Structure 1
């Protein structure tokens, strides 16, 4: 992540007496003694992990359950002059509404630091990330009741057959590796009843899936840690009568 740097500032230290007044001759100045920078926020270095999880979920549903899976929508103005969301769909259809709250049940590792080994040696230290879950509320639409029932059954079978969602890891930090996240049905299918006459005979159900334990880590390291070639620890008594030396290579 790029940094914005600022001009160095002088550091002035003055001793004060008991009344808070400056003591003459007891002031020192360190020229350019304070420097600082801040991160310039911009585009992430790669797709955020929550986006990668969502794209894999959509792709797996389209491959294994129904090819018409979408989260994209168009907006239009309804009769009451309010903005309405109008999904474009072909039947059978799976529409997604996505929420990403914190996942406290999987947050036991949210404190502390993460250490990533570097190919060239040493480790990168990251501030610990936070754990999130991806909640996907599915709208399952079929041209007939039979088609809608089959779609509900297929989604349930998909979760039972794939209890772990395999997602490519961060390509910068964990190049070539894969993460696995538990996926579960959190709300069983419920029929969506229209408030108007359903002249098209479309049957729709709603159900909810959860992808758990998604760690979202900061993009930037706290520090880089290097290995040392060897380490020697020497221990003696004050009269130098005993001497113990340990060497770690």
Structure 2
């Protein structure tokens, strides 16, 4: 990875293999500092690292993490979506049409069933506090607390939904799952596949223990009894088509010879 600081443009360049990113000093609410953008090959998100003091032409000091208050002040007015992870700002990947369609279907079905009750649906513009230095942004969820009208964080999230993508699915199911399970108010965590009608539901029982079940097929139903919500997979995946899975062919299986084929005597 090549690092270069351009004094003329006040710009810090980082060039990984076959990729080039530029981070400008003015993009951060810190004075007389530099900022960096790091890239992880194969990942769907680019990780913005907080400002670091320039100590020489090719050396940087230890990363200085930012607080949630600084993070929320910085994201105001920005169109891109970001998360705060252990004090570091992470730019989230853009979503495809299948992802958006599933989110819309889930939001409509969930809101219809809890509307008028003590809980309310929140969308991907609401953050969930998973630790003192981490603010996650799930695709949607249900908040059973009493958040302020101006708040952008859920008060007492009960349901958290992440619609998986091929590039981020493994990360969501491992790292984010553990974080969401640590939130005391969360009763349900739902991971939704985009490529096939499959969902993975994690639920907390009366003993505060986590159980999980995988539901497959359009006839399956997700039951969220504590919220009095039932979600049909047919409704979740409404308007989507699925590609047939490739069939494995047994090379040793007997097959009928087509008419005119060679038959040894």
Q: Name the TM-score, length of structure 1 as normaliser.
A: 0.21
More strand by share: 1
Q: Name the TM-score, length of structure 2 as normaliser.
A: 0.20
- State the structure with bigger RCO (CA 8 A, min sep 6), 1 or 2: 1
